[in-house]
Amino acid sequence: MQELKSVRDETTDMAEEAASTTQRNESATPRLPAPAAPAAEPAAPLADINAPELYIHRELSQLQFNIRVLEQALDESYPLLERLKFLLIFSSNIDEFFEIRVAGLKKQITFAREQTGPDGLQPQQVLAKISEIAHQQISRQYALLNDMLLPQLAEKGIRFVRRHQWTHKQTLWIRRYFRQEVAPIISPIGLDPTHPFPLLVNKSLNFIVQLEGIDAFGRDSGLAIIPAPRSLPRLIRMPDELCAGGDNFVFLSSMIHAHADDLFPGMKVMGCYQFRLTRNADLIVDPDEVDDLARALRGELLSRRYGDAVRLEVADNCPKPLTDFLLKQFGLSESELYEVNGPVNLTRLFSITALDNHPDLQFPPFSPGIPKLLSNNDTLFQAIGKQDILLQHPYESFSPVVDLLRQAAQDPNVLAIKQTLYRTGANSEIVNALVDAARNGKEVTVVIELRARFDEESNLQLASRLQQAGAVVIYGVVGFKTHAKMMLILRREDKVLRRYVHMGTGNYHAGNARLYTDYSILSSDLALTEDVHKLFNQLIGMGKTLRMKKLLQAPFTLKKRLLELINRETMNAQAGKPAHIMAKANALTDAKIIKALYKASQCGVKIDLIIRGMCCLRPGVPGVSHNITVRSIIGRFLEHSRVYYFLNDGQEQVWMSSADMMERNLDKRVETCFPLEGKKLITRAKQELQVFMTDNTQSWILQTDGTYVRSSPTGNQLARSAQSTLLEKLASSPQRAVNV
């Protein structure tokens, strides 16, 4: 799953301020009260906003996000298979957390390059906290799976049949399946001086086997490794005629356990235990040191499978001498060992969550809405030429973005198309349209970010495909990832060249557009389209930074302007004017932004933050962040949009961006941030932000101590889900996101 794999990249009494935010108007259309009058300034001197205790460590905050994802599996308002999906997303997120975050901390220690952030914690301290929290939560995960979800799934006819439950007929079928489909592919490895411990692939399923006896060559090492081939399914559905109804599955690991003796003829298997090793999966490519980034990445992709070890998972019945042996082999400590009560590779269960014959156990389908303006014109160019069009996915369809590109590919009046691609997939509709455009003689230029984590291989494939079609492919800028989402179409109309643009907060991935919440804008505004044209020229050619009229861009103007906008609200509050900031993003880690928000809070600015994942700001600190609330929305869709609202003394402004409030986005990436213009669009965006402020079912409130508390209706409050509200408002066939 894209980015859900990483959808993938998560408790204390609620503070009074946090509690008050969940007890607002009960009207059918949620509305917030007007911004409160500025709080009185604390007595001078103001508290020190540089104090380490005011900052939460980013990796610990990311871990808290994953805990919030796991908590969704407990929510009985979700359909059962969706609860299982949340548990599996937790597994996927934790895998990536260890592959990237934990691996990065370990690397700092190994190379004596320890770095401390504003929170002041050393990598060793953070790793110790991570180990404590991760052990606890992974144990919770398996208890939840074994004691709650699997029994409830069995009641609904979805069963994972364990070895002690196999009937005689099932046993015979499984034996035949193992001998015909599994055994011929497996290559067991006996350990001795000529057969050293094998180099195991990252996150692969393996078994360590205790043997007794002497083989044909007189060897008696007593140990062997069985790597489970990655080509084999981890779940095998048994034939219906062998089962008493429903869907019945057997784990590949159970098959291997039951028939390990077959793999070592003449030897006695004393024990067989599954394990999995997680390795550092971050690619190390220094663009300054390579002549061809694509070729260098192809070489690095193989090394990702064999990076340094960071975690060992083993079956909890594995004897200690064997776990000690494995830890020694991988150079890991006891704190990096995770003993689990179940399959070590839970993410392979994702296929179960999409069973076609159990629609009642899944979210109901919905049809994304399409604005009337887009359906009442002959072409999308006509509609966009009349006014800017704002779309919020997945509630509103992503198809107009794809259709615009398709029309451009076939339109004889379209001369050129330029586009950035970060995550999309080599065979996506977007890429198909770009290929068609190039073959139809359009000037097609695509800026592909090859280093989009875990999408490098896919991006290399689509780059090759576009080049073969005749498109010009650029790999961005050395040292800066191109994370901006923008498309530019140049069209001749009545002997005049006119530009059309699409800009968004999310990727050009149609699948993600059904799972992630993001905004798109379609525009032919002269100044905005000229800015996009200039930015493409900066990316493709060379030259000084070009001055933009409307567009903000990282790494040049975006961070500076955000700080100015925050400071403007601060000055308004100091002048006794109402001041209000609302911001929605995936993460908030940039120290300068946090300090500016602290100062604004101290001066009386009301600040409402909706931060899905990492948040290093600590709200509710008296005299510092007492005017700041932070909430995280976790639900059916992955909250992904970045929106920034400023009251601006009544002249409201809304900006939308591809960038989060993180150092990497603001300082080290090519990002865009575009303004909404016109009262109608600004009011819409503001109201949609306010919907999240009244959510009391999927909203988690960040506490001063760094934990999160889930909101819930109190008294006679109506239950509200922001995602459900937006589905009902914007989708063509509204369905509630959760049963609340």
Q: How confident is the model at residue 732, as a pLDDT?
A: 79
Q: Decide if pLDDT at 459 tops 80.
A: no
731, burial (CB in 10 Å: exposed 0-12, middle 13-18, buried 19+) = middle
Q: Is 483 a catalytic residue?
A: yes
- Region 564-568 average pLDDT: 98
Q: Decide if pLDDT at 432 tops 80.
A: yes
Average per-residue pLDDT for the chain = 88
- Residue 255, number of CB atoms within 10 A of its CB: 21
* Across 223-232, 451-460, 526-535, 651-660, least confident range: 451-460
Q: Indicate the pLDDT class of residue 544, thresholds 50, 70 and 90.
A: confident
Q: What is the pLDDT of residues 54-81, one digit of tens each?
A: 999 999 999 999 999 999 999 999 999 9
Percent of the chain scoring above 90 in pLDDT: 73
- Region 675-682 average pLDDT: 97
- Region 225-254 average pLDDT: 94
Q: Indicate the pLDDT class of residue 223, thresholds 50, 70 and 90.
A: very high
Topology (CATH) of 123-361 = polyphosphate kinase like (3.30.1840)
Topology (CATH) of 16-60+554-730 = Endonuclease; Chain A (3.30.870)
3-state secondary structure of 546: coil
Q: How confident is the model at residue 617, as a pLDDT?
A: 98
| Nearest Cα to Cα of residue 339 among 354, 353, 319, 310 | 319
Q: What is the pLDDT of residues 299-350, one digit of tens each?
A: 554 555 668 999 999 999 999 999 999 999 999 999 999 999 999 989 989 9
Catalytic residue chosen out of the listed positions 259, 358, 393, 483: 483
Whether 345 contacts 203, CB under 8 Å: yes
Q: Which helix (H) or strand (E) holds 220?
A: none
Q: Indicate the pLDDT class of residue 428, thresholds 50, 70 and 90.
A: confident
Pairing of strands 486-493, 414-421: antiparallel
The whole-model pTM stands at 0.87
Percent of the chain scoring above 70 in pLDDT: 87
Question: Which residues have a Cβ under 8 Å from the Cβ of 733 and sit 6 or more positions away?
Answer: 366, 367
Q: How confident is the model at residue 736, as a pLDDT?
A: 35
- Region 538-544 average pLDDT: 82
Q: Indicate the pLDDT class of residue 219, thresholds 50, 70 and 90.
A: low
Domain ranges across the chain: 16-60+554-730, 123-361, 372-549
Q: How confident is the model at residue 543, as a pLDDT?
A: 73
Whether 524 contacts 498, CB under 8 Å: yes
Whether 514 contacts 506, CB under 8 Å: no
Q: What is the Cα Rg of the chain in Å?
A: 27
* Across 233-242, 310-319, 457-466, 608-617, least confident range: 457-466
Give dist(CA 503, CA 430) in Å, integer: 14
Q: Decide if pLDDT at 260 tops 80.
A: yes
* Across 7-21, 173-187, 286-300, 575-589, least confident range: 7-21
Give dist(CA 552, CA 561) in Å, integer: 8
Same fold, 16-60+554-730 and 372-549: yes
Give dist(CA 420, CA 475) in Å, integer: 10
Q: How big is the chain, counted in residues?
A: 740
- Region 624-638 average pLDDT: 97
Q: Decide if pLDDT at 14 tops 70.
A: no
Q: Decide if pLDDT at 20 tops 80.
A: no
Q: How confident is the model at residue 17, as a pLDDT?
A: 33
Q: Decide if pLDDT at 88 tops 90.
A: yes
Whether 548 contacts 531, CB under 8 Å: yes
| Nearest Cα to Cα of residue 289 among 478, 455, 480, 453 | 478
Q: Decide if pLDDT at 734 tops 50.
A: no
Which CATH class, in words, describes the domain spanning 372-549? alpha beta
Q: How confident is the model at residue 378, as a pLDDT?
A: 78
Q: Decide if pLDDT at 217 tops 90.
A: no
Higher pLDDT, 568 or 37: 568
Give dist(CA 688, CA 683) in Å, integer: 9
3-state secondary structure of 503: strand
212 pairs with which residues across the strands? Answer: 268
Give how far Cα 664 sits from Cα of 161, 667, 670, Å: 47, 6, 10
Q: Indicate the pLDDT class of residue 454, thresholds 50, 70 and 90.
A: low
- Region 131-153 average pLDDT: 97
* Across 466-475, 530-539, 608-617, 641-650, least confident range: 466-475
Q: How confident is the model at residue 146, as a pLDDT?
A: 97
First-residue to last-residue Cα distance in the chain:
27
- Region 514-535 average pLDDT: 96
- Region 251-280 average pLDDT: 94
Q: Decide if pLDDT at 456 tops 70.
A: no
Q: Decide if pLDDT at 400 tops 80.
A: yes
Q: Indicate the pLDDT class of residue 95, thresholds 50, 70 and 90.
A: very high
* Across 109-123, 233-247, 601-615, 678-692, least confident range: 109-123
* Across 372-376, 465-469, 708-712, least confident range: 372-376
Higher pLDDT, 108 or 682: 682
Return the beta strands (E) in 22-169 as ranges.
158-160
